[in-house]
Amino acid sequence: MLRSIFILVPTLLVAPSVLASGSEGGGNVLITPKFGLMFWTVVTFLLLLVLLRRFAWKPLLGAVEARESAIRESLDQARGERDEAQKLLEEHKALVAQARRERAEAVAAGQKDAESLKTEIVEEGRRQREQLLQQAEGQIRAEMRQARVELRGAAADLAIQAAEKLLSSNLNDEAQRKLVEEYLKELDQMPGEASNLRS
């Protein structure tokens, strides 16, 4: 509709001048003032003004106002979205900073726990080693006492046997020496601990 008005307006403005120039033979019609031309120009202008006011100004103003309102709403919406995006960005930055702090705290706590666990494990290992060493030493002492008891018993048996042999036979020096050497050989044939204790 607007296009048809814009095409119609120049046609209406040019038509009276063309009609007037066609009726008269010479000169420039626009420069020479003539009543008929002025009348038709005013009529055309008023007619155009009425048509524009009736059909063009209200839709044009409505379209301009609608466009202005749409632009204003778009700007307001863009500002609102920008403010919301800025707010979300700040929240995101705060969450990232908090996550970094929590991660650093968790890493520090993990390292601290690992160090304390390592210390506990080392201490437990030392305690168990000391306990095992004490148990081993106690066991070795008990076995040594048992070996001494057994050695004493074996030595007592051998002494009794030697005494029996001495008493049963009347021995001279050479027989006594031979008996002692036999006794020593019997001692050498006993288990290693007994011979170690004897030596």
Instruction: Read off the pLDDT of residues 63-95 as tens digits, 9 standing for 90 and up.
Output: 888 999 999 999 999 999 999 999 999 999 999
Say if residue 180 is exposed, middle or buried (CB neighbours under 10 Å; 0-12, 13-18, 19+). exposed
The three-point CA angle 68-73-76 to 5° equals: 125
- The model's pLDDT over 110-161, given as tens digits with 9 standing for 90+, comes to 999 999 999 999 999 999 999 999 999 999 999 888 888 888 777 777 777 7
Q: Tell me the whole-structure pTM to 2 decimals.
A: 0.37
Q: Is the pLDDT of residue 197 over 50?
A: no
Residue pLDDT, tens place only, 95-117: 999 999 999 999 999 999 999 99
Beta carbons within 8 Å of 29's beta carbon, 6+ residues apart: 17, 20, 21, 37
pLDDT tens per residue across span 14-64: 555 555 554 454 556 567 777 888 888 899 999 988 888 888 788 888 888
CA 149 to chain centre: 70
